[in-house]
Amino acid sequence: MSRFSAKVRIAYLTLVILFTAGVFLYLLDTWGVIRLEEKLPFLASDPPQVPLTEDSQTLIDKEALEKEQERLKEKELELKEMEAKLTGQKDQLEQQQQKLEEAREGLKEARAQLERETKARESRDKKIKQMAERLGAMPPNDAVAIVQGWSNVDVVDVFVQMEKNAQANGEQSIVPFLLTKLPRDRAALITTLMMDAVAERLPSSENPSPDQQNPQP
């Protein structure tokens, strides 16, 4: 019985000590000396929830709408900047495409011009050879009478071709004799021009009329 009474007294004293300690800690927390919520998280209480009124809910919705509008404006600004950048690139591409088309047209025209010049050169060479053969086959006086109305360039081209024909056939050229039939000044000029290497680079001392551009039969 005495033993049981001792256990009861120990339990009682333990409860008294714990109660006293709890009261002491509560007083310290009340006075602000310590914060039991930081030491014992289960004692922390949630902040009081204020019920949302219709006005407060409207204010929250308005703020959310304003934020969404700002986000949309920023997105719209980004899209406009991107569109302006793409427009600039498109303009540059169109300009480059136009330059490329112009270059193609220029190349096409240059090729066409080269073809025209080549055909004209071939036609002239053919006519020069024909006239050289004709003059070589006719009497000198008749040949001189024909070349009197030609330009110096035409006379030089035909005479040079006549000399080539005579050399190819192993014959004596009649060109020196024909030169003696021409006026002295013109014969001297034609002789000088014939000494040049390339007939296309020969300078002309006169401007021939359109009907004198090519020798006529």
Decide: 214 and 155 in contact? Cβ < 8 Å. no
Residue 210: per-residue pLDDT: 41
Residue identified by tokens 């339990």 is 11
Residue 49: per-residue pLDDT: 56
Dihedral sign from CA coordinates of 24, 29, 32, 35 = positive
Cα gap 3→9, rounded to integer Å: 10
Among 173, 158, 156, CA closest to 217: 158
The pLDDT > 90 percentage for the chain reads 2
Q: What is the mean pLDDT of residues 193-202?
A: 57
Residue 212: per-residue pLDDT: 44
Is 70 exceeded by the pLDDT of residue 203? no
pLDDT tens-digit map of 136-188: 888 988 888 899 889 888 888 898 888 888 888 888 888 888 889 889 999 88
The backbone region for 170, taken as left when phi is positive above 0, alpha when psi lies in -120 to 50, beta otherwise, is: left
Does residue 166 sit in helix, strand or coil? helix
The pLDDT > 70 percentage for the chain reads 75
Residue 47: per-residue pLDDT: 53
Count Cα neighbours of 170 within 13 Å in the Cβ-side half-sphere.
Answer: 0
Higher-confidence residue: 26 or 148? 148
Residue 198: per-residue pLDDT: 39
Buried b (16+ CB within 10 A) or exposed e, 147-186: beebbbbbbbbbbbbbbebbeeeeeebbbeebbeebeeeb
Residue 208: per-residue pLDDT: 46
pLDDT tens-digit map of 44-95: 555 555 555 666 667 777 788 888 888 888 888 889 888 888 888 888 888 8
Residue 207: per-residue pLDDT: 43
Cα gap 166→179, rounded to integer Å: 16
Cα gap 71→195, rounded to integer Å: 87
Per-residue pLDDT band for 201 (boundaries 50, 70, 90) equals very low
pLDDT tens-digit map of 107-126: 888 989 888 888 888 898 89
Decide: 153 and 208 in contact? Cβ < 8 Å. yes
Q: Give the pTM.
A: 0.45
Q: What is the mean pLDDT of residues 210-215?
A: 46
Decide: 181 and 139 in contact? Cβ < 8 Å. no
H helices within 52-151, ranges in order?
54-137, 140-147
Question: Helices 152-169 and 184-194, interaxial angle, to 10°?
Answer: 60
Among 123, 128, 174, CA closest to 151: 128
